[in-house]
Amino acid sequence: MCPSNKSICLGTAFLLLLVSCTAAAQALDRASAGQGGPDNTLGNQSDADMWRAIRQGEAGLPSASSLNSEQGVLVNAQGVWWSDMRADWVITYGATVLLGVIVVIALYFALRGRIRIDGGRSGRRITRFSLLQRVAHWSVATLFLLLALTGLVLMFGRYALVPLIGHEAFSVAATAAMQAHNLFGPIFTLALLTLFIAFVRNNFPELTDVGWLLRGGGLFGGHASAGRYNFGEKLWFWTAVAAGILLSVTGFLLLFPDAFATRNQLQLAGTVHGIAAIVFVGFACGHIYLGTVGTEGTLEGMTQGDVDENWARTHHDLWLEKVVTDIEDQRV
């Protein structure tokens, strides 16, 4: 109820109307000038514009795009770019590559079947690998499988495992994977060095590799001569060494983020780490297939140290000839 003095009521109502009209006029002026939005601490910008200015280093505010050093950086603008690039490129294309490798191997096995020993087993055994070589191989293989499994969980688990097991279970699995990955990564570097020393001697390119390539390595039929290691094995060896070095260097940077690199360098290291891992795992799938179910008698070299003589003649005839010659020379 208004007081009895109607002039006071009318004056109050007029004053409120005047204030409202003034505020509306100011809002229209800001909108016409392209500065629409709620009032805030800067007085003439919306909250979205204000935070965009902070992120991009405008208005004198420090950000990752305006400073080389991270000291005093309020918002790191590169983090959003790196996160989007990792999800859209590394993870998406990485998953496509690995699935493609598995599909190709499955199709090859369905069409080609297992590669058998020409003439069957002879019953005569030829020494293929020393104990040191086998220990080095299986040490790296065991650590690689552990790191590959945990790395794949960390890279793809958010997209593949969360829908299956839920967020809480994945949180436990991811935490365990991260701890195992960080623990066994440095050990893998030492094992890889041992593997390199044990196998590098006969893994350099030779002219015989050209003939092996021209014959498709015998993968599609026919015979392809090779020395102790064929071109495919040499390619796998150097790929594993190169990828292993990249994984080791970038892994150490990521393991000690405050000691050796800036945040932008760590983002690059994380990208290289992911790409190298995809290449390593992709090649390893082919190596594991050919070394186990894909080729008869191959696995025996790494489990027993020797292989059947006819296996050697089928896949590494030039090496077999040299071994036989050396044995005959020793007898003489």
pLDDT, tens digit, 9 for 90 and up, residues 43-74? 566 777 767 666 665 545 554 444 455 555 66
Residue 195 lies inside a defined structural domain of this protein: no
CA distance 194 to 139: 9
What is the number of structural domains in the chain? 2
CA distance 141 to 191: 9
Query: Residue 232: its pLDDT value, please?
Result: 96
| Cβ-based burial of 229 (10 A; exposed 0-12, middle 13-18, buried ≥19) | buried
User: Within this chain, do residues 59 and 90 fall inside the same structural domain, yes or no?
Assistant: no
Q: Which two tokens stand for residue 219?
A: 């993968």
Residue 267 lies inside a defined structural domain of this protein: yes
pLDDT surpassing 80 at residue 38? no
User: Within this chain, do residues 63 and 117 fall inside the same structural domain, yes or no?
Assistant: no
User: Within this chain, do residues 323 and 255 fall inside the same structural domain, yes or no?
Assistant: yes
Lowest mean pLDDT among 6-20, 24-38, 180-194, 258-272: 24-38
CA distance 28 to 139: 73
Residue 247 lies inside a defined structural domain of this protein: yes
140 three-state secondary structure: helix
Q: How confident is residue 81, by pLDDT bands cut at 50, 70 and 90?
A: confident
Lowest mean pLDDT among 80-84, 168-172, 235-239: 80-84
CATH of the domain at 323: 1.20.950.20
Last residue of a domain, one of 76, 92, 108: 76
The mean pLDDT value for 304-320 works out to: 96
